[in-house]
Structure 1
Amino acid sequence: MRTVLVSGGGIAGNTLAWWLARHGFRSTVVERAAGQRSSGAPVDVRGPAAPVVEAMGLLEPLRAAATSVTGARLVDAAGATVARFPMGFERPAGRTELEIPRADLAAILHRAAADEVEFRYDDTITALTADTGGVDVTFARGEPRRYDLVVGADGLHSTVRRLAFGPAAEYVRHLGVWVAGLPLGGPADDPHDVLLYNTPGRLASVHPARGEAMAAFIFRGPMVDGFDHRDVGRHKRLVVEAYQGERGWRVPELLDRVRAADDIYFDSVSRVHLSCWSRGRIVLVGDAASCVSLFGEGSSLAIAGAHTLAEALAGGEHGAAFRRYEAVHRRRTELKRRAARYVAGLLVPRTRVGLATRDAAARALARVRPATPGPPPAR
């Protein structure tokens, strides 16, 4: 039985581990965190991910955990609605499209894999030594082990990518936008609407999520010298500084929440580009290989990519399998990569003219496709 070490217990890693177990591999998932994370912004499960989760028998638990969002409202400084428009695309009969908190999605995938996969929490890889027969892995806490294959499913700041391919600076490009988010500790006033407030180069929003609303900040800015994605104190300061002096809508209240928070999500909107996603017996999947944005669809690409990799590995020798996986999945990610700057332009226009143009387009869309408040359509 071939052995596989998967670094990262998130969406890509858990999906991959489930499919590898189905194909007769013995998988271990190593995760730096002490357990499954309990927070995370809502993400989408649709497109190429839909048939994968359906084949895993997970549609019902995913539907039960989905949000009830049907639309978004642009609001002005006083909180008045500028435009309201539908979220997502039309859903033809039989198409599965879900929005679900990221942590809930990862937890559901984890529970599906837990009986057949070894999970090692509160640990991380510190060294990889590969040869023609396997990969010797050194861990920060656990005993060294040898595996037939190693997969980096450990996100934008991938340890496996750094160890096997080189420093992040060679492959990761900041797209000039930052994202922050934190839970608000209670439900939103309206469970069906995402609220969006813009000034040039800045967005503040409240998403109803599922029971516990979440605040998000998206703003434009250059890469920060010496940025550390684990430095929560600095993250909080960067958010507060970016919105300094903004008094409109709920921004002062939300900034107070940031100051008081023990933890917030904060990261660069970045693109990862490598000429090849594998080296020898080591391969990357999900954001570690091809992060294109932090605007929601990375989860669907992670699920689809993990499934494609597992199916390719089930077909035989790892080198040919890695090439088949990359050939198929790179086409999917390329389409999303091209759209990243366009989406950023819609969410966070740079200028007042850009804001006015975006708002006019949103009002036109609302007239063509009105989003009626109420329960979401059947999924």
Structure 2
Amino acid sequence: MPSLPTVLVSGAGVAGLATAWWLRHFGFPVTVVEKAPLLRDGGHAVDIRGVALDVVKAMGLHDALQAQRTRLRGLCMLDRQGEPVSVDDSRTFSGGRLDSPDIEIFRDTLCRLLADAAGARQDICYDEHITALSPTTTGMTVSFARQLSRTYDVVIGADGVYSSVRRQAVHAGDDCLVPLGGALAFYSAPDSLSLDGREGMYREAELGVVVYPDASGHELRVGAGFGAEVDTSLRHDVAAQKALTRVRLRDLGGRWQPLVDALDTTDAFYFGELAQVKLARWSNGRVALVGDAAHCASPFSGQGTSLALVGAFVLARELANQPGSPQAAFARYEARMRPFVDLNQALVDMTREGPVPDAQMRAAANGIALPDLSPTRYSSALA
């Protein structure tokens, strides 16, 4: 019996770690490289909905995810001074209705669980990234920033919106980024609002701020979305990103002020322009993209994590079906996933003031059939 192809996965976020889990489950030799020096702490709460819940059940992770969900008690609308205006204990803005089966969990918690489940925590090559990809007759020669070049049969780009793998092997330019006219900053700060376990939110025409307590109960995760033309030079300038965020939050005072001031000292800070990724194709030869690298829907969709989890399964399943023909496997993966992605990208409406209507979200979250996903079959293999 011929050996399965060797696979290199670039990126240890949700998409990369879930893809590594499924590939290892199907028997593929997998290497993961991650540019960051370790699994990233901090970040916003993410949601697992619809068919993505079936995927994590099949992975045997559902109970662990449930145990570490955010468990927010509701939504508290705040004014410019951080004072409560109204309370809704039936839902949150970020996670939807509290009586739904959806799981809201912090991104870093989810990544740690995925890394442990994949057996990848010690095997991820951190502080490393791909510098060049060169096709051979049977695979891809990969050059790295720190280690010697190696050849892999297949390369998977799970390296986010600004994917280096995408630029090098699938789509060279940034014209696949469709700007949504804004930017989003996430960071951690001491809890100065005391919202009693609720999510807090302030909204005006060009600014939206959402805060929620982390698992410790001592810190808040702060997300600030605002209208801005984001110059490409900002992508690698954290000081400039923090300065722009502070300017956009300058009209907030009172109980907000300590959260604004925390920008100066926080190490857990993420900033990105709001954009969707729209590509004519998600693969080229023996290289394929998954998650945001292929089809970012933006955080405003609330579905990026679910798309990554579902895409990881479909990509690995199709590669397992046709291990000797990666190109055919990638074509089948894209054919299955693209209608699902289209539904979820369509959730984003920058003129909408409230959350996505529940019926539209449910339709998008369940917009793909996974007849080849059997929870009993896969989760039993973990025992």
Instruction: Provide the TM-score with structure 1 as the length reference.
Output: 0.85
| Shift in Å, 1:263 | 4.6
Residue in structure 2 matched with residue 240 of structure 1 by the alignment: 246
1:140 equivalent to 2:133? Answer no
- Cα shift readout 1:226-246 (whole Å, capped 9, x = no counterpart): 3342311010111112233x0
Match of 1:328 among 322, 325, 336: 336
SS of the counterpart of 1:119?
coil
- Cα shift readout 1:246-267 (whole Å, capped 9, x = no counterpart): 0455343322111233452111
Residue in structure 1 matched with residue 272 of structure 2 by the alignment: 267
Task: Indicate how the Cα distance of structure 1 residues 15 and 188 shifts in structure 2: closer, same or farther if over 3 A, else same.
Answer: farther
SS of the counterpart of 1:304?
helix
| Count of residue correspondences | 345
Residue in structure 2 matched with residue 368 of structure 1 by the alignment: none
Letter in 2 for 1:7: S
The separation in 2 between residues aligned to 1:161 and 1:250, in whole angstroms, is: 43
| Shift in Å, 1:209 | 3.3
**Identical residues among aligned pairs (%):** 36
| Shift in Å, 1:115 | 5.8
Task: Indicate how the Cα distance of structure 1 residues 122 and 205 shifts in structure 2: closer, same or farther if over 3 A, else same.
Answer: same
- Cα shift readout 1:272-321 (whole Å, capped 9, x = no counterpart): 01100000000000000000111332111100001110001110121121
Residue in structure 1 matched with residue 220 of structure 2 by the alignment: 213
- Cα shift readout 1:181-240 (whole Å, capped 9, x = no counterpart): 11124596235311111232112222123223211211112232x334231101011111
The separation in 2 between residues aligned to 1:115 and 1:11, in whole angstroms, is: 13
The separation in 1 between residues aligned to 2:72 and 2:233, in whole angstroms, is: 34
| Shift in Å, 1:168 | 4.3
Residue in structure 2 matched with residue 81 of structure 1 by the alignment: 85
The separation in 2 between residues aligned to 1:328 and 1:52, in whole angstroms, is: 15
| Shift in Å, 1:142 | 1.1
Q: Is there any run of 5+ residues in structure 2 with no aligned partner, and where? A: 358-383
The separation in 1 between residues aligned to 2:347 and 2:43, in whole angstroms, is: 23
Q: Is there any run of 5+ residues in structure 1 with no aligned partner, and where? A: 349-357, 362-379
In the TM superposition, what are the counterparts of 1:19-30 in structure 2 within 5 Å? Answer: 19-30=22-33
1:319 equivalent to 2:324? Answer no
The separation in 2 between residues aligned to 1:144 and 1:90, in whole angstroms, is: 49
Residue in structure 2 matched with residue 46 of structure 1 by the alignment: 49
Residue in structure 1 matched with residue 346 of structure 2 by the alignment: 338
Residue in structure 2 matched with residue 364 of structure 1 by the alignment: none
**Would the aligned equivalents of 2:177 and 2:277 in 1 still touch at CA under 8 Å?**
yes
**Would the aligned equivalents of 2:188 and 2:266 in 1 still touch at CA under 8 Å?**
no
1:287 equivalent to 2:296? Answer no
In the TM superposition, what are the counterparts of 1:359-370 in structure 2 within 5 Å? Answer: none
Match of 1:9 among 9, 12, 29: 12
**Would the aligned equivalents of 1:40 and 1:103 in 2 still touch at CA under 8 Å?**
yes
The separation in 2 between residues aligned to 1:80 and 1:38, in whole angstroms, is: 29
**Would the aligned equivalents of 2:192 and 2:255 in 1 still touch at CA under 8 Å?**
no
Task: Indicate how the Cα distance of structure 1 residues 22 and 80 shifts in structure 2: closer, same or farther if over 3 A, else same.
Answer: closer
Match of 1:223 among 204, 220, 230: 230
In the TM superposition, what are the counterparts of 1:172-183 in structure 2 within 5 Å? Answer: 172-183=177-188
Residue in structure 2 matched with residue 352 of structure 1 by the alignment: none
Using the TM superposition, name which of 124-133 and 76-85 deviates more. Answer: 76-85
The separation in 1 between residues aligned to 2:193 and 2:158, in whole angstroms, is: 33
**Would the aligned equivalents of 1:292 and 1:298 in 2 still touch at CA under 8 Å?**
yes
Using the TM superposition, name which of 175-184 and 273-282 deviates more. Answer: 175-184
1:202 equivalent to 2:210? Answer no
Letter in 2 for 1:222: E
**Would the aligned equivalents of 2:74 and 2:98 in 1 still touch at CA under 8 Å?**
no
Letter in 2 for 1:328: R
The separation in 2 between residues aligned to 1:53 and 1:141, in whole angstroms, is: 34
1:309 equivalent to 2:315? Answer yes
SS of the counterpart of 1:146?
strand
Task: Indicate how the Cα distance of structure 1 residues 190 and 90 shifts in structure 2: closer, same or farther if over 3 A, else same.
Answer: closer
Using the TM superposition, name which of 80-89 and 191-200 deviates more. Answer: 80-89
The separation in 1 between residues aligned to 2:192 and 2:155, in whole angstroms, is: 41
Task: Indicate how the Cα distance of structure 1 residues 187 and 322 shifts in structure 2: closer, same or farther if over 3 A, else same.
Answer: farther
The separation in 2 between residues aligned to 1:143 and 1:100, in whole angstroms, is: 37
| Shift in Å, 1:165 | 2.7
SS of the counterpart of 1:176?
strand
SS of the counterpart of 2:46?
strand
**Would the aligned equivalents of 1:173 and 1:271 in 2 still touch at CA under 8 Å?**
yes
Residue in structure 2 matched with residue 351 of structure 1 by the alignment: none
**Would the aligned equivalents of 2:76 and 2:84 in 1 still touch at CA under 8 Å?**
no
The separation in 1 between residues aligned to 2:121 and 2:36, in whole angstroms, is: 20
Letter in 1 for 2:103: L
- Cα shift readout 1:116-138 (whole Å, capped 9, x = no counterpart): 99421110000000134100000
Residue in structure 1 matched with residue 364 of structure 2 by the alignment: none
The separation in 1 between residues aligned to 2:49 and 2:166, in whole angstroms, is: 27
Using the TM superposition, name which of 100-109 and 248-257 deviates more. Answer: 248-257
Letter in 2 for 1:80: P
SS of the counterpart of 2:41?
coil
Instruction: Provide the TM-score with structure 2 as the length reference.
Output: 0.84
Task: Indicate how the Cα distance of structure 1 residues 196 and 186 shifts in structure 2: closer, same or farther if over 3 A, else same.
Answer: closer
